[in-house]
Amino acid sequence: MQGVMLRKRHWKKGIGAAVLLLSACLMAGCGATEERIQNAMEMIRVFDYQEALAELDTAEEEGENIRLVNRARGIAYMGLTQYADAISCFLSALSASNGLVQDVDFDLNYYLAAAYTKDGQYSQAEETYNAILDLRENQVDAYFLRGNVRMSRMNYQGAKEDFERAISMAPKDYDMLIEIYEILDHFGYTEEGKVYLQQALEAGGSGMDQYVVGRIYYYLGEYEKAYLALEEAKEKGGEESYLYLGRAYEATGDYNYAANVYNSYLNSYEGSAELYNQLGLCEMARGDYRKALEAFQAGMQLEDDPILQTLSFNEITAYEYLGEYERAAALLNNYLNNYPDDVKAKREYDFLSTR
């Protein structure tokens, strides 16, 4: 089994951060304008990876910074799930260093380790995180991510040491804490993961934010306590509060109320791809596949959708349940062109081909 590649909130914002780092690098003198590279990064931000690669070829021809060209190429290849190509680009960018370690070198190593992880090269990924920590031992993300890789290598003890180091360095990073739980749960260490969650609750005391309390209770499986806390938190209007509140009700089997929660947010605030997706799943559970399809498609209409792949697959599933197999097969064929490493989708295509 493979672990979670990157921290979720980091991955959702990864391209935006990459654009910001590019801008900082340019201001520091990495290049004069590097207009083509900046154009390519904007294309990557909206998932237009092939056009971005073409723009980067032009950037190289026009003499723009080759390190930044290869960095951007690697990110584009990551988006295309062509991890071997991404690794090659990141290594090329690193090899062009002038010998002075800069922020862009650490950034490249994080991307390189992520590419190794996605490519199943866990030992190389671990070695890359080792290199990062040898130079900057205060990198919380590196400890977290190395722990993830170590779990993928079935090294629970090593992962445990990394996770506990990361928690000690950022005890109130509850997003990271929850992701540590999810990784441990994925690999069968559910009870060990719950210990960290329980410790966080005890350390937080009565003044702990109810949104955090509700999420932790959700992962502890105490759904009534979760939705009581999240009902209070949702008054702040946060998208994530509504998301977890609805999930808590779903976990108790109350799909009607869960759907009301999602619709309440979507009717009052701007669109949310994750909430549309969760609403669609809720409608699927209720057996209303047409409404589910509408929810998935509404989520797909949002710009810069970070879960487009998930929504696309769920759209196909909804068409299957509606009995529209030809439409589902056509969409799945297009889906596999965009996400060729999705093994589950390949099995689904084989099934649809027989219908």
> Residue 190, CB half-sphere, CA atoms under 13 Å: how many?
5
CATH fold match for the domains 1-120 and 136-208: yes
Report yes or no: 247 and 230 within 8 Å, Cβ to Cβ: no
pLDDT, residue 354, reads 66
Q: Which residues of 118-135 are buried (b: 16+ CB within 10 A; e: fewer)?
A: bbebbebbbebbebbbee
Q: What are the structural domain ranges in the chain?
A: 1-120, 136-208
Residue-averaged pLDDT of the chain: 88
pLDDT, residue 10, reads 45
pLDDT, residue 338, reads 81
Counting Cβ atoms within 10 Å, is residue 277 exposed (0-12), middle (13-18) or buried (19+)? buried
**Is the pLDDT confidence value at 49 over 90?**
yes
Counting Cβ atoms within 10 Å, is residue 250 exposed (0-12), middle (13-18) or buried (19+)? buried
- What is the dihedral sign for C-alpha 153, 154, 157, 160? positive
CA dist., res. 211 & res. 242, Å (int): 10
Instruction: Tell me which residue of 134, 107, 91 sits closest to 30, measured CA to CA.
Output: 107
Overall fold of domain 136-208? 1.25.40
Overall fold of domain 1-120? 1.25.40
pLDDT, residue 295, reads 97
